[in-house]
Amino acid sequence: ATFGLGRPATADEIAAWDIDVRPDGVGLPEGSGDVTTGEEIFTDRCAVCHGDFGEAVGRWPVLAGGQGTLSDDRPNKTIGSFWPYLSTVYDYVHRAMPFGDAQSLTADETYAITAYLLYLNDIVDDEEFVLSRDNFLEVEMPNAEGFMPDDRMETEFPVFVKADVCMENCKDAVEITGRAAILDVTPEETRARQLKEAVDKAKSGTAADAVTVDSAPPVSLEGGPAGTAAPTEQVAATETAPAAPTADAAPAETAAPDPQLVAAGEKVFKKCQACHQVGEDAKNRAGPQLNGIVGRTAGTVEGFKYSKPMAEAGANGLVWDHAELSGFLTKPRDYLKGTKMSFAGLKDQADIDAVVAYLSTFAAD
Amino acid sequence: EGDPLITELQDWNHVLGDGVDANPYGMPSRHEAHVKRRSVEWLTADPVSSVNFTPLHELDGIITPNGLCFERHHGGVADIEPAKHRLMINGLVDTPLVFTMQDLMRFPRENRVYFLECAANSGMEWRGAQLNGCQFTHGMIHNVMYTGVPLRLILEEAGVKTNGKWIMPEGADAAAMTRSIPIEKAMDDCLVAFKMNGEALRPEQGYPLRLVVPGWEGNMWIKWLRRIEVGDQPWHHREETSKYTDLLENGTARRFTWEMDAKSVITNPSPQAPILHSKGPTVLTGVAWSGRGTIPRVDVTIDGGKNWHEARMSGPSFDKSMHRFYYDFDWDGTPLLLQSRAHDSTGYVQPTKEELRQFRGVNSIYHNNGIQTWYVNEKGIAENVEIS
């Protein structure tokens, strides 16, 4: 029995949302792209996080290399070494990338990026290689056979399902073989430390326990060792076009900003950090670096590919003073139709004032 | 003579407090400000695609308060106006359908309590003790009561074709999260939920709509649920190939490891919750859960596994829900090595970390349900250790 709820979906609605791609090729759209074109797009849209050759910046995923390392002590799981199906690459790149601008890539661009990723992983070696729906299924991924179904019920269950467990005198001696304190990677926790200090003060006695040190580097969610230094290449030249001082400059640009407001703005800026950097090593990511943004002419950071409307707004004299930034940040897409900035906006004017105050503390280089 | 808190008049004894409506949507006492989710910055590349952790050591009972449920999202928290939200069912169905939130509220609904555990919970501990605090080692879990519509009813409304063997739920967020789920599970106990603990889902938990996949890894509980496609085979998308597959020592990986194995952890004492009193009556407590049923029993040791004691279970025992256990003992002021060991209703007994490593090596990342050890020194300070 049904309830007669809902309504039939239209063909256009299904087409708009049904973007998934499967290993058998179902869902692949018409289109094609070659390695060389893919390299250009990748350099422009992806390299800021994944590195020019898929080697990754900071803790972003490594996309290339690692073949033959899966049984190593520290495996390097990349598209080439680990991913079983090429369709997953296409689906994911189109579905969720670039980070902060999902579903902005056309079918041709996605084919081209996918082709370039095959090239970076030595799965194709011809820069002229063109990937399309027609030859997509011919590409075999190196680790296609590397997966098996969950076998816990067959392998582990017979051992871990126990009718009886030992309750008394189960072992003679116990030794500490490793301790987290050695690594000291737990986030600074004021209260825990306060508690410990309080306990230390309140009680006497000293701890004297021998331990074996396990000094392996910490392991992160992404599987790689944590705390690896971010690459230092960074810092592209950021010759911002010097903005002409404007007569109607907002107070934030003339008076020194309120330190409390700046501190609040630093918190608000966390919402922006996925795409924008400030400070000494700031460079362009999904969005342009923001040193000197307050007072800067719109669309003028060197090396950043702006949307056409943004570039035009700058050419027409838009300068990012407090009022203009306020308008933009309230609802970017209403303020400037066609902007690439995929950010919903800051609802609270206090947040906007704070973040503008924070940004005003970063001068153009 | 006496405690000045008693013998002297305190502010709150004579100054009037706030009236009603001072806080139309109430918050915890300001003295509880330390009770909060926390993240570990070095774990992920960016806070927008990251995780924070439930402060298990500050909680009791079995229900996680909504504001403390750990968050894991891959493209930030989607901000969706419920009137603009749609759920589409398409693929191998008789009639592809679109539902509004109002439509969904007209289906018969159910209330059920389930734990949601991220498959990567304790994933940083495979190679050894690493983080000091059960919030960080075990805090990718929460346990709430969901109100929602059985997924079966919604799928039946569209009419699943006989060759429809899998579903693919998809999120409306900027990550458009997808997973493949076999139709048997979809028709069994999955819910399309809109409430948690009686109130609307929190935005970070998928407001206005999320999938509930009882007992299975949290990544499958698609948040901001906007579409469910029915197909004849799995999609093998990024979250079930590149991620959420378990790499074994020999270089092959298990996939579709959906069920969460039985697991437990002592939440107090623990590194963030030292013993603050001297010797005498001491309450040890913790939580246990299993993706395959209930937890009829938990054993506790305070001497590193030489001797075990059956813990006292307290609170309701629901299928695929968190369970609360206690072990009340007289602490003699000497160092302790604390462990808990869960037994689930299938007879499965939580293994040691070493037993798990025998099967899986140390590169699995996911599904680490090994026994946790806390060392408590004579001052009552606890730390994360491993023992022989």
Q: Does residue B25 sit within a domain?
A: no
Per-residue pLDDT band for A200 (boundaries 50, 70, 90) equals low
Tokens standing for B248?
A: 């074994």
Q: How many CB atoms lie within 10 A of CB B17?
A: 7
Q: Are residues B223 and B283 in the same domain?
A: no
Question: Please, what is the average pLDDT of chain B?
Answer: 97
How far apart (Å, rounded) are the C-alpha atoms in residues A348 and A37?
A: 42
Distance CA A66, CA A62 (A): 9
Q: What is the mean pLDDT of residues B289-293?
A: 98
Residue A188 confidence class, pLDDT cut points 50, 70, 90: low
Domain stops at, among B234, B254, B274: B254
The verdict on a CB contact (< 8 Å) between B365 and A223 is yes
Domain end marker among B237, B254, B271? B254
List of chain A residues whose C-beta atoms are within 8 Å of the C-beta of residue B136: 186-187
Q: Which residues pair with B192 in a beta bridge?
A: B149, B211
Find residue A149's DSSP bridge partners: B255
Pairwise CB contact (< 8 Å): A22 & B235:
yes
The Cα of B255 is separated from the nearest Cα of chain A by a number of Å equal to: 5
Taking the CB of residue A239, how many other CB atoms lie within 10 A of it? 12
Tell me the CATH number at B249.
3.90.420.10
pLDDT given for residue A267 in this prediction: 84
pLDDT at A333: 81
Where in chain A are the domains? Answer: 17-138, 251-359
- Establish if B194 belongs to a structural domain: yes
Q: Which CATH superfamily groups domain A251-359? A: Cytochrome c-like domain (1.10.760.10)
Q: How confident is the model at residue A259 (pLDDT cuts 50, 70, 90)?
A: confident
Question: What's the N-to-C CA distance of chain A in angstroms?
Answer: 69
Q: Find the angle CA(A157)-CA(A162)-CA(A168) to the nearest 5 degrees.
A: 145
CA distance A343 to B174: 11
Are B190 and B176 within 8 A, CB to CB? no
Claim to verify: residue B249 and residue B272 sit in the same structural domain:
no
Instruction: Collect all residues of chain A within an 8 Å Cβ-Cβ radius of residue B126.
Output: 219
Name B72's bridge partners. Answer: B51
| Closest chain B residue to A89, measured at CA | B238
Say which of A147, A152, A156 has its CB closest to residue B255: A147
Instruction: Clarify whether residues B144 and B196 are in a common domain.
Output: yes
Q: Quick one: B100 and B185 in the same domain?
A: yes
Instruction: Name every chain B residue with its beta carbon within 8 A of the beta carbon of A156.
Output: 351, 359
Cβ within 8 Å, pair B128-A178? yes
* B8 in a structural domain: no
Same domain, B283 and B359: yes
SS3 B103: helix
Residues of chain B neighbouring A17 (CB-CB closer than 8 A) = 88, 90, 170, 226-227
Helix (H, G, I), strand (E, B) or coil at B174: coil
- Non-local (6+) Cβ contacts of A314 within 8 A are A297, A298, A299, A300, A306
User: B247 vs A198: CB contact, 8 Å cut-off?
Assistant: no
CA distance linking residue A297 with residue A315, whole number of Å: 8
Residues in CB range of B27: below 8 A, 6 or more apart: none
* Residue A51 C-alpha, separation from nearest chain B C-alpha, in angstroms: 14
Q: Count A/B contacts: CB-CB distance under 8 Å.
A: 331
CA distance, residue B98 to nearest chain A CA (Å):
5
Tell me what pLDDT residue A191 has.
Answer: 56
Do the domain assignments include residue B322?
Answer: yes
For residues B13 and B5, give the distance between their C-alpha atoms in angstroms, rounded to a whole number.
Answer: 11
Whether residue A238 has pLDDT greater than 60: no
pLDDT tens figures, B14-67: 999 999 999 999 999 999 999 999 998 888 888 888 999 999 999 999 999 999
Residue B349 to residue A160, Cβ atoms within 8 A: yes
Number of compact structural domains in chain B: 2
CA-based angle B357:B363:B365, to the nearest 5?
100
Task: Answer yes or no: is pLDDT of A234 > 80.
Answer: no
* Spatial distance between the Cα atoms of A84 and A275, rounded to a whole number of angstroms: 30
Sign of the C-alpha dihedral computed for residues A346, A350, A356 and A361 taken in this order: negative
Give the whole-number percent of chain A exceeding pLDDT 90. 48
CA distance B170 to B192: 12
Select from B153, B237, B380 the Cβ nearest to the Cβ of A92: B237
B-chain CB neighbours of A203 within 8 Å are: 278, 378-380
* B100 phi/psi in degrees, rounded to 5: -90, 170
Mutate to test the interface with B, among A3, A5, A347, A348 (most CBs of B within 10 A): A5
Confidence of residue A103 (pLDDT cuts 50, 70, 90): very high
Q: Are B235 and B167 in contact (CB under 8 A)?
A: no
What three-state secondary structure class fits A86? helix
Q: Which residue has the tokens 């926390």?
A: B38
Residue tagged 């400037």 (tokens): A336
The answer to whether the CB of B220 falls within 8 A of the CB of B158 is: no
Assess contact for B332 and B278: CB atoms under 8 A: no
Nearest residue, CB atoms, B337 vs list A91, A160, A174: A174
- CB-CB neighbors (< 8 A) of B109 in chain A: none
Same domain, B138 and B274: no
Q: Is residue B368 part of a domain?
A: yes
Q: Which of A7-11, A99-103, B84-88 has the lowest mean pLDDT?
A: A99-103
Q: Is the same domain home to B246 and B282?
A: no
What's the gap in Å between the CA of A146 and the closest CA on chain B? 5
**Fold match between A17-138 and A251-359?**
yes
- Whether residues B227 and B209 share a domain: the answer is yes
Q: How confident is the model at residue A203 (pLDDT cuts 50, 70, 90)?
A: low
Tell me how close the Cα of A89 comes to any Cα of chain B, in angstroms. 8
- Fold of the CATH domain A17-138: Cytochrome Bc1 Complex; Chain D, domain 2 (1.10.760)
Q: Which of B202, B224, B254 is the last residue of a domain?
A: B254
Is this prediction's ipTM beyond 0.90? yes
Average pLDDT value over all residues in chain A: 83
**Residue B297's domain spans which residues?**
263-385
Paired tokens of B111: 């209330």
Residue A148: closest C-alpha in chain B: B254
Burial (0-12, 13-18, 19+ Cβ within 10 Å), A224 = middle
Q: B276 and B248 in one domain?
A: no
Residues of chain B found within 8 Å of residue A84, distances taken between Cβ atoms? 236, 241
Q: What is the CATH number of the domain that holds B337?
A: 2.60.40.650
- Dump the DSSP string for A97-121: -STTSTT-S-HHHHHHHHHHHHHHT
Chain B residues in contact with A181 by the CB 8 A cut-off are 132, 383-384
